[in-house]
């Protein structure tokens, strides 16, 4: 009898011990974990054209954000390490290299520098692996928590940028605009969102034309818009097509205010002085561009200036700060970890939609991202934006 009781007690004790040592998969990571907080940045460093510079800035921002966070205690004491995957802005390469990386290591965080084709290809993998991610190249459902609960888009969508335009157009007393947008996925979204959103705000859209981004002459589309007699031209353009459009406007002899979007602001040719670029030429006299307030230098903006210091300490800022969202991503993760007292993806994702966390993060590229449980995308006000004339760029900022 005594032997039976002893056996039962031993079995019960063993069961209790096994339960205590049970799987930690569903439990928050031990906050005193000293393992590095591993961050992977996907970027098209070897891509063609301006994509390479944009990706370089995105990667630099991630490294700078990591440096800032490490200087301030890390992520719950865990030092941040950054590994970079050069996806060459090619979805096939991105998927291959990401899977190769995941076969060896599981990162804590993935930062996707875009474009949206990379997002489309890699988000399902990250979702399957349960990895937290921030994303610059938004897609139609990348910010949908029902589909991708662990992903957060850092780029405001066209509907967010629209808020800035509406504020600006009303300040300028402009009531009739023509829209010209590119044939890319973002350009088409821009055309659709602005085409419906501006009239809802009481601004008439007199024409809404699209151009092929591989075309060399947009005069036909500009003639169509000009014929509709708008007071201003709302423009989506990026890279060489922007130069073609500005030339074509000049060729038509059309003296119209041109209000360019963030893509225009990200194109180097308009901030490069003659003879290499168009800065200082009559072609940009009528041009203003929508940028984040952080993209315009302000000596009083200490947070942004500190971000720039961290970035320039690590390398050259090749594009504008519009591409530096990844700096904010690390700040957001730090604040979320401090709230959740955990660093696992699920806990962080839950904390990131807390307005108090977003406030505490002290993000600088965008002041407050406004993530919600319903939409993991920036929900910003028109106050985040400024409309500036082209000027020389220093350290990613207009002067």
Partner 1 sequence: MTLVWGALALGAIYAIVAVGYNIVYISSKTFNFAQAQLMMVGAFVAYSGLVSWHLPWLVVLLIAGVIVAAIAAIEERLAVRPVRDSHNILVTTLGAAIFLDGAAQLIWGTQPLTVPFVGGNRATTFVGGRVYPVELALIVVAVLLVVGIVVFARWTKYGRALLAIAEDREAAELRGINVRALAFAAFAASGLLAGMVGLFVGPVTFAVSTLGASLALKGFVALAIGGFGSFPGALVGGMVVGLVEIWSARLFGGDYVHLGIFVLLLLVLMLRPAGLFVRARERQV
For partner 1, the closer of residues 228 and 372 by Cβ is 228
Alpha-carbon span 104 to 346, nearest angstrom = 22
Question: Shortest approach of partner 1 to residue 237 CB, angstroms?
Answer: 12
Question: Shortest approach of partner 1 to residue 299 CB, angstroms?
Answer: 28
Question: Shortest approach of partner 1 to residue 70 CB, angstroms?
Answer: 31
Residue ranges in contact with partner 1 by CB under 8 A = 48-53, 183, 209-212, 214-221, 223-224, 239-240, 243-244, 247-248, 250-253, 267-269, 272, 274-278, 282
C-alpha separations of 287 from 235, 258, 360, 392 in Å = 10, 5, 36, 14
For partner 1, the closer of residues 1 and 216 by Cβ is 216
Which DSSP string corresponds to 214-281? Answer: T-S--HHHHHHHHHT--SEEEE---SHHHHHHHHHHHHTT----EEE-HHHHT-GGGGSBTTTS-BTS
For partner 1, the closer of residues 31 and 268 by Cβ is 268
Question: Shortest approach of partner 1 to residue 114 CB, angstroms?
Answer: 15
For partner 1, the closer of residues 174 and 237 by Cβ is 237
For partner 1, the closer of residues 107 and 277 by Cβ is 277
No. of helices (H) and no. of strands (E), the chain: 13, 13
Cis ω for the linkage preceding 115 (within 30 of 0): yes
For partner 1, the closer of residues 137 and 370 by Cβ is 137
Alpha-carbon span 69 to 317, nearest angstrom = 19
Which DSSP string corresponds to 313-333? Answer: HHS---S-GGG-HHHHHHHHH
* Residue 176: both structure tokens together: 């009739």
Question: Shortest approach of partner 1 to residue 268 CB, angstroms?
Answer: 4
Question: Shortest approach of partner 1 to residue 380 CB, angstroms?
Answer: 28
Alpha-carbon span 140 to 283, nearest angstrom = 35
């Amino acid at each position: 009898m005594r032997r039976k009781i002893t056996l039962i007690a031993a079995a019960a004790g063993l069961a209790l011990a096994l339960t205590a040592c049970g799987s930690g998969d569903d439990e928050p990571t031990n906050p005193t974990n000293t393992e590095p907080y591993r961050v992977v940045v996907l970027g098209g460093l070897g891509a063609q054209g301006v994509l390479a510079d944009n990706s370089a800035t995105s990667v630099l921002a991630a490294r700078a954000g990591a440096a800032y966070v490490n200087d301030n205690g890390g992520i719950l004491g865990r030092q941040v390490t950054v590994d970079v995957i050069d996806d060459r802005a090619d979805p096939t390469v991105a998927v291959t290299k990401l899977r190769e990386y995941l076969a060896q290591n599981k990162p804590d965080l993935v930062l996707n520098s875009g474009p949206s084709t990379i997002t489309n290809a890699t988000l399902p993998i990250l979702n399957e692996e349960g990895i937290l991610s921030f994303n610059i190249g938004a897609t139609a459902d990348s910010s949908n928590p029902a589909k991708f609960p662990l992903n957060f888009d850092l780029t405001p969508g066209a509907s967010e940028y629209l808020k800035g335009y509406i504020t600006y157009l009303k300040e300028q007393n402009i009531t009739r605009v023509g829209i010209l947008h590119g044939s890319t996925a973002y350009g088409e979204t821009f055309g659709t969102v602005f085409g419906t959103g501006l009239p809802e705000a009481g601004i008439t859209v007199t024409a809404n034309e699209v151009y092929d981004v591989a075309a060399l002459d947009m005069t036909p589309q500009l003639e169509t818009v000009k014929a509709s007699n708008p007071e201003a031209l709302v423009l989506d353009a990026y890279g060489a097509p922007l130069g073609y459009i500005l030339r074509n406007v000049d060729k038509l002899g059309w003296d119209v205010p041109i209000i360019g979007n963030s893509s225009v602001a990200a194109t180097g040719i308009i901030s490069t002085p003659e003879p290499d670029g168009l800065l200082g030429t009559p072609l940009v006299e009528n041009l203003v561009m929508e940028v984040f307030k952080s993209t315009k230098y302000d000596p009083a903006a200490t947070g942004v200036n500190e971000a720039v210091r961290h970035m320039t300490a690590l390398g050259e800022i090749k594009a504008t700060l519009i591409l530096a969202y990844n700096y904010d991503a690390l700040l957001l993760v730090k604040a979320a970890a401090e709230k959740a007292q955990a660093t696992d993806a699920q806990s962080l994702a839950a904390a990131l939609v807390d307005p108090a966390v977003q406030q505490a993060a002290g993000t600088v590229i965008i002041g407050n991202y406004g993530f919600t449980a319903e939409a993991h995308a920036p929900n910003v006000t028109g106050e985040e934006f400024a409309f500036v004339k082209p000027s020389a760029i220093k350290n990613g900022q207009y002067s």
